[in-house]
Structure 1
Amino acid sequence: MPKTLRLILGDQLNQKHSWFQSKDDQVTYALFETWSESTYAKHHIQKITGFFFAMRAFADWMQSEGHQVVYRTLDETRNLQLESISDNLLQVAKEEQFDVIEYQLPDEWRLDQELQALKENFGGVIKSVDSEHFMSVRDDVEEMFKGKKTYLMETFYRKMRKRHQILMDPSGEPETGTWNYDQENRGSLPKDIAFPTASTYVKDATEIVELLERNHVETMGRMKDNVFTYPVTRNECLEALEDFCENRLQFFGTYQDAMTVKHPLLYHANLSFAMNLKMISPREVIDAAIAAYRKQSKDITFNQLEGFVRQIIGWREYMRGVYWAQMPGFGQKNDLDHQLPLPGWYWTGKTKMNCLSHAVNQSLDLAYAHHIQRLMITGNFALILGAHPDDVDAWYLGVYIDAIEWVEITNTRGMSQRADGGLIATKPYCSSANYVNKMSDYCKSCHYNYKEKVGEKACPFNSLYWDFLDRHREKFQKNFRMAFMYRTWDKKDGDEKELILKRAAWVKEHREEL
C-alpha cells in the first residue's frame, strides 16, 4: 500500500468504520483542532469543548489500537499559522512525503468544497470514501422528489422503514398496521409525573477553556465551573443510550412535545451530539430502542417507540437529504422577506417572557433544548416577529452542542422559519400563547398574560401571531391547514384588528425590552 494520510474530521469519530478494522504501517491518521472550525460560527463554549474532548479521546483510542496518529491541538495549529483543516493536512502530507490523501465525505457543504480543492495543491492521489454512518445516501431525497415543489418527510420515512425492514411485518406492511403515531405524541405533562435523572459524564474542562482563551476564540453560552457533562467516548455514548432505553423511552413518544420549567431533559434521549459526531450510529440507536420495546413491551407502548424511530430515520436522515439536495442555495433563502434583527436577549436570556427566558437560558447553560423548545418557543417567536433567517441560523448553529450545518440549517431556515417557501413543511410552525400554555407550565408564572392580545400585559406571542398571519395572507390564506385561523381573524371586527396590529407594531419596535 502506498504511504497514505487519512483525515478524520471532528464529526467523524466512528470506531466501527472499515478504516479501523485493520492496521497498516503505511497509513497515518490526522486530526486537527483549527482556528477555522472554531470560529466559522460563534459557538457555544460547551460545543467546542465537546468536540475537542471527543477528538482527543478518539485519537487516544486509535493509538491504543495500534494506529499511527498525528494530532494537533489548537495551540499547535495556530503556532504553525495553519488556520484551516486543508492547510494542516497539506503541510503534514508534504513534510512526511505521503503519496495518497484519503478523507471521508464530510457532511457540510463548505468542508466538502474545501476538501475537493485539495487536488489543486497536492501532487499525489486524493481519494474520498463514505463515512459509513447514515442509513441513506446524500442524494436519496433529491432523487425521491425530483421535480417536486415540496418534499414530504412521511414519504421518505416510509421508504426508509421498508428499505431497512424496521418495524415491518413479513407482508411488507407496518408492524401494527399504522405508519405514524404522531397524534399520540403530543401529550401535555400530568402534574404528578416524575423525571428520571439522566447519566452524566463529568469532566474538568479548564484546560480547553484556557486553550480557547489563549487563542482568542470568541464563544457564547456558559459552562458552570468549567464542568462538562456530555459523553465523549463510544463507551460513554453506549451507556447513555442504555440509560435512555431503560429509564425514559417508556414516556418519550407521549410527552416528546411537552415543556416544563421543572426539568430540562424530560424523557428525551439527548443523544444527538453522540450521533452527530458519529460515536454511535443511527442503526444501533434504533436497534437498542426496538430491543428495549421487545423486552419491556408492558412498559413501553408502540407509540413511544415509533415516535423515537421516526425522529432518527425520518427527520434526521430526511433533513440530511434535503441539505444535499438544496445546498448551497438553501443558505440564502428568505421566502417571507423577514428583515428584523434577532433580539439581543437571545444571547443573554434577559426577557420577561417566561417561556423564552427559560428556553434561552437553558440553551445558554446546557447547550441543549429539546426540539419543541427550539421549534415552538425560540423558533416560533423569531418567525412571527419577522427575524432575518441569517440571524436565526447564526444563533442556532452556535448555541447547540449538536448543531452541525447539515441538520441545523434545514431545521431552522426550512422547518422553523419557513424561509424555504414551503419545501419542507406544509404550513408555517407558528402559534399564539395558547399553544405554549397548553404544552407547558411556562405561562403560569409569566410577567405577561397568555389570554390577552392587547394591552401592556398582553403576551407578545398573541399580537405577533395575528400580525404574522395578516401580513403574509397572500402566501397562506389558501393553505387548507390555515383556513380556520384566517376565518377566525376575519370574524374579528375592524377595531379589534387595529388594536392587535398596533400592539404587534409596538412589540416589534420594542423587542429588546420585552
Structure 2
Amino acid sequence: MPAQTLRIVLGDQLTIGLPLLAQGDPARDVVLMAEVADETAYVPHHKKKIIFILSAMRAFARALEEAGWQVEYVKLDDPGNTGSFTGEVRRAIARHRPKRIVTMEASEHRVLAMQRGWEAQTSVPVTILPDPRFLCTKEAFARWAEGRKSLRMEYFYREMRRKTGLLMEGGDPAGGQWNFDAENRKGPPGALMMPTPYRAEPDAQTRAVIAMVKARFAANFGDAEPFWFPVTQGGAQEAAAHFLREALPQFGDYQDAMVRAHKFLFHSVLSPLINVGLLDPLALCRAAEAEWQAGRAPLNAVEGFIRQIIGWREYVRGIYWWQGPDYMRMNALGAARRLPSMYWTGRTRMACMAAAIGQTRTDAYAHHIQRLMVTGNFALLAGIDPHELHEWYLAVYADAFEWVEAPNTIGMSQFADGGLLASKPYAASGAYIGRMSDYCGSCRYKVAE
C-alpha cells in the first residue's frame, strides 16, 4: 500500500518530539533515514565522529520502530546504496510511492540545497519544515543584525536571556551583571579533585558500527576506540546529569584552563549530543539554572555554561545563515600558508600543540580554549589559509557541523571575516599558554626567551 507521506530524518535531527514526526501518522507514513557516502567523505572525518553519528542514527531508528513507526533505514554498506541523499530519496519513492515528502530544513547550506531540489527531481511535493530547536530563527537574527554598525555576541546574548528568562530577576540579570567571564579565568587547578569523565559502554549495535568504520575508514584521522560517546537519548540524559552533578560547580572558575593529565577538566563534553538532537539545549540550560537556584552550583559557573549555549551557539548559527555560503571563503588577512602536517600527525616539539592535537586524535574532542587559543592561535599567527583550517576542524571533532564550526573558525579564531563576528583577533603569546596550562613546563621551547 502506498505511503501517505515519506518523512525524511537527517543524521543531526535525532529528536523524537520534532514537528517532522509529531505531525505524522505512524500507521500511514514511512520514515526514511540513510547513511550515505557523500556525507562521510566531503572531509576526512575522524573515525569517532563517523561512529558517533551512525550509531546515534541507528539507535534513533530503533527507538522510532519501538514507537510504532515504519522506518526505511539504509546502512552505509547496504547493497544498492546510491551514496547520496537524493539517490536514496528516489529509491524510497519507487518503493513506497508516497503522495508527498516532508523533511526538516538541513543545518548546512549544502544539504538544504539538495532538499530544495527534491521536488523538481522527483515530481513529488516536498514540504521543508523549519528547525524549531533554536531560540532565534534565521529571520529574527537577520532582523537583529541588519543596520547595526557592528555585531557583538554580548548584546545578542542579553536578548536571549530576556527572551528565555534564564538567570533573570524581573528585568535584571541575576547577580546584578550579565556576564561573569572575568571570574572564569583561573589557571590549572592544582590539587583540586577532578571529576571522572562520563563514559558510555557501546552496545552490540555500536560495536558493529565500530567494526565497519575501522574496516572502511582505516585511513581516516583518529582513533576508533575506546568509544565512549552516548548514542541514545537516555545515555545523553545520563551524561548531562553527570556533568551537572560532578563538574558544573567548578566549570566556571576553570573553563579556560588546560591540564595534560586531565583532558576534559570540568567541561561537559555535551556539544556532540546537543548538535545531533539527543539533548534539548534549552532544557539543559534550565537544568543548569536549577542547580544554581538550589545552591549546588555558583552563578559564575552556571552563567558561563548557559552563555555558551544560548549566546555563542545561537549567535554563530545566526551568522552562518545570515552571511550565506560565501562566508566560508572569507580571508580578510590574506593568510595563504598551507596547513602544516602536524595538524594531522601530531608530530611537533610544541607541547601545547602536541597535547591539543593528540587529544583530538584520541577523543575527537578538545575544549574551546584548546581550539581557539592553541590550534587556532598558532594558525592565526602563522598565517595559515583559514579555509584549510576550517576543513580540518570540520573533519576532526565529533561536534563539528558546518553551521557551528565555520563561524567559530572563520570569524572568531582566524578573524578572516574582518571583524564581522568578533571585535578583535584572538591572538596571544606563549605567556598566555604558560599561565593557563601546565604544557609549557615540559616544552622544548621557552616562551619567556
What is the CA–CA distance in structure 2 between the aligned matches of 1:37 and 1:83, rounded to whole Å? Answer: 8
Q: Secondary structure at the match of 2:431?
A: helix
Q: What are the Cα deviations for residues 136-179 of structure 1, in whole angstroms up to 9, with x where unaligned?
A: 11233221110335321011101111111111122x11122211
What is the CA–CA distance in structure 1 between the aligned matches of 2:385 and 2:148, rounded to whole Å? Answer: 26
Corresponding residue of 1:470: none
Q: Is the 8 A contact 1:134 1:281 kept in 2?
A: no
Between 1:83-92 and 1:42-51, the stretch displaced more is 83-92
Alignment of 1:148-297 (within 5 A): 148-170=148-170, 172-203=171-202, 207-212=208-213, 215=216, 218-224=219-225, 227-295=226-294, 297=295
Q: Residues 213 and 365 of structure 1: is their aligned pair in 2 closer, same or farther, counting only changes over 3 Å?
A: closer
What is the CA–CA distance in structure 2 between the aligned matches of 1:342 and 1:123, rounded to whole Å? Answer: 44
Corresponding residue of 1:475: none
Q: Is the 8 A contact 2:46 2:396 kept in 1?
A: yes
Between 1:338-347 and 1:134-143, the stretch displaced more is 134-143
Alignment of 1:37-436 (within 5 A): 37-76=39-78, 79-80=79-80, 82-170=82-170, 172-203=171-202, 207-212=208-213, 215=216, 218-224=219-225, 227-295=226-294, 297=295, 299-436=296-433
Shift of 1:228: 1.2
Q: What are the Cα deviations for residues 102-153 of structure 1, in whole angstroms up to 9, with x where unaligned?
A: 1011110101111101121121211011232111112332211103353210
Aligned length: 445
Q: Residues 144 and 217 of structure 1: is their aligned pair in 2 closer, same or farther, counting only changes over 3 Å?
A: farther
Q: What are the Cα deviations for residues 55-110 of structure 1, in whole angstroms up to 9, with x where unaligned?
A: 0000000000001100010012xx32512112101221133211101101111010
Q: What are the Cα deviations for residues 268-292 of structure 1, in whole angstroms up to 9, with x where unaligned?
A: 1110000000111111110111111
Q: Is the 8 A contact 1:75 1:215 kept in 2?
A: no
Which residue identity is paired with 1:327? G
What is the CA–CA distance in structure 2 between the aligned matches of 1:342 and 1:376, rounded to whole Å? Answer: 17
Which residue identity is paired with 1:375? L
Aligned-residue CA RMSD in angstroms? 1.6
Q: Is the 8 A contact 2:29 2:70 kept in 1?
A: yes
What is the CA–CA distance in structure 2 between the aligned matches of 1:397 and 1:332, rounded to whole Å? Answer: 14
Q: Is the 8 A contact 2:47 2:214 kept in 1?
A: no
Which residue identity is paired with 1:74? L
Q: Is the 8 A contact 1:367 1:400 kept in 2?
A: yes
What is the CA–CA distance in structure 2 between the aligned matches of 1:218 and 1:144, rounded to whole Å? Answer: 44
Q: Secondary structure at the match of 1:101?
A: strand
Which residue identity is paired with 1:241? A
Q: Secondary structure at the match of 1:74?
A: coil
What is the CA–CA distance in structure 1 between the aligned matches of 2:213 and 2:179, rounded to whole Å? Answer: 45
Gaps of 5+ in 1: 453-514
Q: Is the 8 A contact 1:74 1:211 kept in 2?
A: no
Alignment of 1:447-486 (within 5 A): 447-452=444-449
- Deviating beyond 6 angstroms after TM superposition, the runs of 4 or more aligned structure 1 residues are none
Q: Residues 217 and 121 of structure 1: is their aligned pair in 2 closer, same or farther, counting only changes over 3 Å?
A: farther
Gaps of 5+ in 2: none
Q: Is the 8 A contact 2:38 2:83 kept in 1?
A: yes
Corresponding residue of 1:34: 36
- Structure number with bigger Rg: 1
Q: What is the identity percentage for the equivalent residue pairs of Structure 1 and Structure 2?
A: 38
Shift of 1:185: 1.2
What is the CA–CA distance in structure 2 between the aligned matches of 1:236 and 1:292, rounded to whole Å? Answer: 20
Q: What are the Cα deviations for residues 276-315 of structure 1, in whole angstroms up to 9, with x where unaligned?
A: 00111111110111111222x1x42111110111000000
Shift of 1:208: 2.3
What is the CA–CA distance in structure 2 between the aligned matches of 1:428 and 1:253, rounded to whole Å? Answer: 23
Q: Which has the higher contact order (CA 8 A, sep 6+)?
A: 2
Shift of 1:262: 1.8
What is the CA–CA distance in structure 2 between the aligned matches of 1:146 and 1:118, rounded to whole Å? Answer: 31
Task: Using structure 1 for the length normalisation, give the TM-score.
Answer: 0.84
What is the CA–CA distance in structure 2 between the aligned matches of 1:445 and 1:164, rounded to whole Å? Answer: 46
Q: Secondary structure at the match of 2:173?
A: coil
Q: Secondary structure at the match of 2:102?
A: strand
What is the CA–CA distance in structure 2 between the aligned matches of 1:323 and 1:217, rounded to whole Å? Answer: 32
What is the CA–CA distance in structure 1 between the aligned matches of 2:65 and 2:328, rounded to whole Å? Answer: 39
Q: Residues 372 and 216 of structure 1: is their aligned pair in 2 closer, same or farther, counting only changes over 3 Å?
A: closer
What is the CA–CA distance in structure 2 between the aligned matches of 1:390 and 1:278, rounded to whole Å? Answer: 27
What is the CA–CA distance in structure 1 between the aligned matches of 2:14 and 2:71, rounded to whole Å? Answer: 14
What is the CA–CA distance in structure 2 between the aligned matches of 1:93 and 1:218, rounded to whole Å? Answer: 35
